[in-house]
Structure 1
Amino acid sequence: MSIYVGNLSYDVTEEDLNSVFSKYGSVKRVQLPVDRETGRMRGFGFVELGDEANETSAIDALDGAEWMGRDLKVNKAKPRENRNNRRDSFSRSY
């Protein structure tokens, strides 16, 4: 499982998130996506912890918490949409 962390400050680093989430268990991975055009962080990230019980504890404790001047949005990450399976709205079968 992965945790979605939204409404992040644009100044946050992977080390910052690792520090916060390590209080709830072993951090396996932190990812902060960046905008392709600008290279600037997009204001959200993903964290994976060692086990699901720790992830649930982190979500319960951090969702809505104020951090770096912002109220965090923390929940289970939804599976990524497979972009290759989207239908082209301009193609039709006749």
Structure 2
Amino acid sequence: MNIFVAKLNFKTRKEELEAAFTPYGAVSSAKIVRDKETGRSKGYGFVEMPNDSEALQAIASLNEKELDGREIVVKPANPKTAETASY
């Protein structure tokens, strides 16, 4: 399951994001979205967890919890459509 994580601290690294999810199960990837020109975090990212039940538990447990001093928003990611994939 692909999980959307928003309101991240701009200093949060992908390793810290992954570490927040690993207590709930296997994490296949973690990514923080960065500005193409500056390389600065845009404050959101994605975590991929292969087991849906573990992913749902992580979402329920981590949504509106603090990570690196910020209350994060965690929810299932919307699948890419033809409109959102063209950039």
Same fold flag (TM > 0.5)? yes
Superposition TM-score, scaled by structure 1 size: 0.83
After superposition, the CA RMSD in angstroms is 1.8
**Identity of paired residues, percent?**
34
Aligned positions, number:
86
Kindly name which structure, 1 or 2, has the bigger radius of gyration based on alpha carbons: 1
From the two aligned structures, give the one with the greater strand fraction.
2
Superposed displacement of residue 50, structure 1 = 2.6
AA aligned to 1:65 is K
1:56 maps to which residue? 56
Superposed displacement of residue 46, structure 1 = 0.3
SS of the equivalent of 1:56 reads helix
AA aligned to 1:7 is K
1:19 maps to which residue? 19
2:69 maps to which residue? 69
Superposed displacement of residue 85, structure 1 = 8.6
Superposition TM-score, scaled by structure 2 size: 0.89
SS of the equivalent of 1:42 reads strand
Which runs of 5 or more structure 2 residues have no equivalent in the other structure? Answer: none
